[in-house]
Amino acid sequence: MPQTVNTTPIDPYLPQNGNRGYRVSRYELDITYRPASNRLSGRAVIIAVTTGVQPRYSLDLSPSLSVSKVLVNGSKAAKFTHSNGKLTVTPQHKIPAGGVLEITVVYAGTPRPVRGPWGEVGWEELTEGALVASQPNGAASWFPCDDHPSSKATYRISITTDTPFFALANGKLLRKQAKASQTTWEYEMSAPMAAYLATVQIGNYRKYRVGTVGEPVPMDAVLPPRLRAEFEHDFARQPEMMALFTEKFGPYPFDSYTVVVTDDELDIPIEAQGISIFGANHCDGRRGSERLVAHELAHQWFGNSLTLGQWRDIWLHEGFACYAEWLWSEASGGPTADQLARAARTNLARQPQDIIVGDPGPQDMFDDRVYKRGALTLHALRLELRDKMFFDLVREWTSRYRHGSVTTEDFVDLAGHYTFTPLRGLFAAWLGTKPLPQLPPVGGG
């Protein structure tokens, strides 16, 4: 009996992304990159389990990269096509549901960012080196993958590049081996990770320890030596941020945390799993970007450990990270979270109220109003629950869904257990309607 093919997009915000028929459990990536020519060659092994019997399987892969060979389950070369950003592979034999699907892809090319409504994302050539900033759909610019945030897997990433360069990827450094004029750096990310959070950073960098030895979470900096003095001033309070967020949000979800500062300027900092990337312009020697330091660190809990299942729920990432900025301000002697929340609401009231934060649409999902009103949703909830219950809720949220996928409904349901007062009206007003609600008074309920 012929099978019907489900053509419904996995996510309407990114209808071309994501793939059916399997669930990836692991990626093993071996890439070689030559900065002078911006040339990348790679071998990717994608290990998955099938969810149904089907004649072919697809992966997301940029047209900028050319595929020379595909193997399925170690057998002889499999048939494949590569067009419109999809690598479609036909195994020689059908694989039963629940069977192992191991696809090996050999590829090469000149990596370029993926163009979209949000600008260019993915692999980006720097003046000397490269960076990867893939949110939301740029992972396919440098490796074949199931590029949707609900698809999380472990990773081994090996980078071979010219010896003067430092190469960084997610996770723990397993091996560094110099051979002739090139060095191979091999990393292991053992916590499940969405493809857009996988990163490679290559530059004339050095690695430094942040804070003191023996702190609960090892923290490092990877940056050009010329920026070290500015970095040590601007990021000096990062250990205090880590202590605050660990208290408020629960244990840090990964083994370590690394901040990269590129030699080039960047419009905005970028989070990756276990790593945040800043531009040289964010090291000004005056702590001018300290709120962004807090924001990116908070994403390790909200976005990287707890990752949205659908892009419409992006307030779950950005609302929490924005609220973390306000919590840090209050803890470090600046304006209180309540003062910042009320100022943010005043500013939002002057702007068009024409998006729904709980489903802003793909064009507006990175709109600053999503960030600020998402944070205001949390502040309104905090005022309703009072501090103890609110932070108990946040810690249970990060614990229950650690390294998993989350939805707004998950959060609303969990919050409902922390009060006898119905909360659906609060969430509906802040997340489900366009008009801007009033914040309740402090101490109200």
Helices 408-415 and 315-331 meet at what angle, rounded to 10? Answer: 50
**Active site members:** 296, 371
Integer Cα distance of 143 and 169 in angstroms: 13
CA 289 to chain centre: 20
Phi first, then psi: give them for residue 349, nearest 5 degrees: -65, -20
State the Cα–Cα distance between residues 311 and 148, nearest whole angstrom: 9
Q: How many CB atoms lie within 10 A of CB 134?
A: 26
Residue 269, classed as helix, strand or coil, is coil
Whether 379 has a binding-site annotation, put simply, is no
Instruction: For residue 153, list its beta bridge partners.
Output: 193
Amino acid at 76: K
Residue whose token pair is 């989070």: 271
By C-alpha distance, which of 304, 132, 324 is closest to 238? Answer: 324
Q: Check the annotation: does 318 bind a ligand.
A: yes
Tokens of 229: 């003095």
Separation of alpha carbons 327 and 321, rounded Å: 10
82 is in an annotated binding site: no
Residue 162: CB atoms within 10 Å: 15
CB 272 within 8 A of CB 199: yes
Look at the alpha carbons of 395, 398, 401, 405 in this order and tell me if their dihedral is positive or negative: positive
Annotated binding residues for Zn(2+): 295, 299, 318
